[in-house]
A and B are shown apart, each in its own frame.
Chain A
Amino acid sequence: MNMSARRSFQMVLIVTFGLLFVFPLYWVCISAFRPEDDIFRYLSPLRIWTFLPNRVTFDNIVTLWMSPFARAIFNSIFVAVATVAGGLVVCAMAAFALAVIEFPGRSLVFTVMIVSFLIPFDAIAVPLYNVMRGFGLQNTYLGLILPGIGNGLTVFLLRQFFLGLPKDLREAGLVDGMGYFQIFWRIYLPLSVPALISAGLIMFIFQWQAYLWPLLIAPRTDLKVAAVAIAQFSSAYDVSFGVIFAGAMFVSLIPMIILVVFQQYFTSSVASTGGKE
């Protein structure tokens, strides 16, 4: 095979796989704009109208936004943003101490902290639920947010980044009579914006995905997050498929847009946690 034939073949494969992966999402989006009757009508046998809607309606979208779903989307956004804000404070401070300040037992604290946070908290969701209910945090935003603020990957990522900054920065700050807090706030944080964005992105996606924990801690209707609301739509008999697809479309589009916009930060976080040589 000559070079350009091989190139063309490779390109065909790339496009095929790309389309295969995106096809379910495409199908969700076109179904969201279809009248209920059409969603399954044109599936089999496959024809052009399987892939293109021949009738377009906005009814599903309107029904969706009139339902409690609007509140669920708000809850998801609020919880995810609050988690990113709180999580960045907690994780960046911890990472700073673990990277910059020398104190006895540092590597032990580092190990215990990263290992405990790396265990996905779904694993301890059941006992955590008992603990949080004991604090009266059932059916509260705080109960939804708190478990997301400690994130092992985030602490690790930020510590790696801080370690990569020159040690002279700290010394210069100390000589100038700055305290550690000023060194953190005025020197390290402004230099770490890309790493903070990567870390925030990880926590946002993580919290947007959460399903088991919100299901347990906040079952009340007005506190439901979107990931839970959609799943419960799908088992309710009075909700149509068109509306479910419309909901799935919005819940997917928000994190997808964020991922696409910040993709370079995502890729760099992958590179620094992924076991590079």
Chain B
Amino acid sequence: MNRRRNLYAALFFLAPAIISVIVLRLWPALVAVHYSLLAPRATSYSFENYTYIFGDPVFRNSLWITLIYSIIVNPLQIAAALGLALLMNNRLPTTGFWRTLILLPVAIPQSVSAVIWAVAFRPDGLINAVLAPFGIGPQPFLTSPDQALACIILMVSWVGVGYWMTFLIAGLQDIPKSLYEAVTIDGANRWQRFRYVTLPQLRRPLTFVLVADTVANFLVFAPVQILTKGGPQGSTNLIMNEVYTRAFLQGDRGSASAATVVLVLLVLIVVLVQFRLMNDSGEQSR
């Protein structure tokens, strides 16, 4: 009786969320799998769309660019966030204010940040103006295949670093003071305290930030669409832009669906790791 009552109550409370999961996530995912397996004029399922996209240099380039981008942007942002967290984790007056300033860009829509940076990256824009006194001549930035991806990395880092810094500051504040006192008595210098106390103690927040940052950076779209549209010469064609181009500019539903399935599978792997990290820490903190 009690078990049945619990089950009915649980169903009642979970119903809206379960319906949302099914309608907003699982069903569209199934739809994508369905269309990805249905070749343009085929009457039965096949892997034609997958062999097509993996044979297509544009799609392969997009995967490659996404990989390079991820390998650069994630460590870079985490290193910057860690540096800032160490710098900002103190009781000096007004530090809280400066911390807030660094966090602010995360609240702004990425599309708006992209519009701001698009103007800043213009040949006659803010960044060339700031570089000029250092003897650096006008740079092409977004119109150069060698610089465009770096520009996007700079922009998304401006947006994201403060956010990840906040996680690491929370982690730093969790480290027991006694650990530092213990190694200081043993004669450890600054670097040794960082290497043997801070880094090992920060392992979990650092891993979490790495995983969550990877998920976030995987789906960067607005900056690409607004700043470069994937160009020049495909040098910024990150995977989300590639899926968008296939689906809405080329109207190729089959290959867009196949690309979506590949994208979801890649994200799913990272999200499963993120979930394990969140859940482990949840179990421990109880």
Please list the residues of chain A having a beta carbon within 8 angstroms of any beta carbon in chain B.
7, 10-11, 13-15, 17-19, 21-22, 24-25, 27-28, 40, 43-46, 50, 89-91, 93-94, 96-98, 101-104, 106, 109, 111-124, 126-128, 130-131, 146-147, 149-150, 155-156, 160, 163-164, 179-181, 184, 205, 208-212, 216, 226-228, 230-231, 233-234, 241, 244-245, 248, 251-252, 255-256, 258-260, 263, 266-267, 270-277
Q: Does B174 belong to the interface (CB within 8 Å)?
A: yes
Complex Cα distance, B271 from A130, in Å, reads: 24
**Chain B residues within an 8 Å CB radius of A149:** 20
Q: Flag if A21 contacts B115 (CB, 8 Å).
A: no
- The prevalent SS among residues of A at the interface is helix
Name the distance in Å between B96's Cβ and chain A's nearest Cβ.
Answer: 9
- Closest chain A residue, CB of each to CB of B163: A270
Complex Cα distance, B119 from A25, in Å, reads: 12
Chain B residues 72 to 102 lying within 8 A of chain A, measured CB to CB, are 84, 87-88, 90, 92, 95, 97-102
- Closest chain A residue, CB of each to CB of B34: A127
Interface core residue of A216, A263, A273 (most chain B CB under 10 Å): A273
* Cross-interface CB contact of A101 among B10, B126, B166, cutoff 8 Å: B10
Q: Which of B49-57, B63-71, B177-185, B239-247 contacts A (4 or more CB under 8 A)?
A: B239-247
Complex Cα distance, B155 from A179, in Å, reads: 51
Q: Does B14 belong to the interface (CB within 8 Å)?
A: yes
Complex Cα distance, B102 from A25, in Å, reads: 11
Question: With A119-B264, A123-B260 known to touch, is A276 a contact of B226 (CB < 8 Å)?
Answer: no
Q: Flag if B20 contacts A14 (CB, 8 Å).
A: no
Q: Which of B38-46, B143-151, B191-199, B275-283 contacts A (4 or more CB under 8 A)?
A: B275-283
Q: Flag if B9 contacts A211 (CB, 8 Å).
A: no
Q: Flag if B25 contacts A90 (CB, 8 Å).
A: no
Complex Cα distance, B118 from A233, in Å, reads: 13
**Chain A residues within an 8 Å CB radius of B126:** 24, 27, 43
5 nearest A-B pairs in the assembled complex, by CB-CB distance? A275-B208, A18-B98, A94-B17, A97-B13, A227-B109
**Chain A residues within an 8 Å CB radius of B97:** 18
| 6 A–B contacts from the bound complex (CB under 8 Å) | A124-B32, A124-B264, A126-B243, A231-B226, A234-B115, A274-B170
- The prevalent SS among residues of B at the interface is helix
Q: Flag if A277 contacts B16 (CB, 8 Å).
A: no
- Closest chain A residue, CB of each to CB of B168: A274
- B interface residues, tally (CB under 8 Å): 105
Question: With A180-B13, A209-B110 known to touch, is A22 a contact of B101 (CB < 8 Å)?
Answer: yes
**Chain B residues within an 8 Å CB radius of A89:** 16
**Chain A residues within an 8 Å CB radius of B278:** 114, 156, 273, 275
- Closest chain B residue, CB of each to CB of A91: B17
Q: Flag if A226 contacts B109 (CB, 8 Å).
A: yes
Q: Flag if A102 contacts B28 (CB, 8 Å).
A: no
Complex Cα distance, B208 from A136, in Å, reads: 39
* Cross-interface CB contact of B31 among A97, A119, A131, A259, cutoff 8 Å: A131
Complex Cα distance, B114 from A11, in Å, reads: 30
Q: Flag if A44 contacts B29 (CB, 8 Å).
A: no
Q: Flag if B260 contacts A104 (CB, 8 Å).
A: no
Q: Does B1 belong to the interface (CB within 8 Å)?
A: no
Chain B residues 88 to 136 lying within 8 A of chain A, measured CB to CB, are 88, 90, 92, 95, 97-112, 114-120, 124-126, 128-130, 132-133
Q: Flag if B171 contacts A184 (CB, 8 Å).
A: no
**Chain A residues within an 8 Å CB radius of B284:** 277
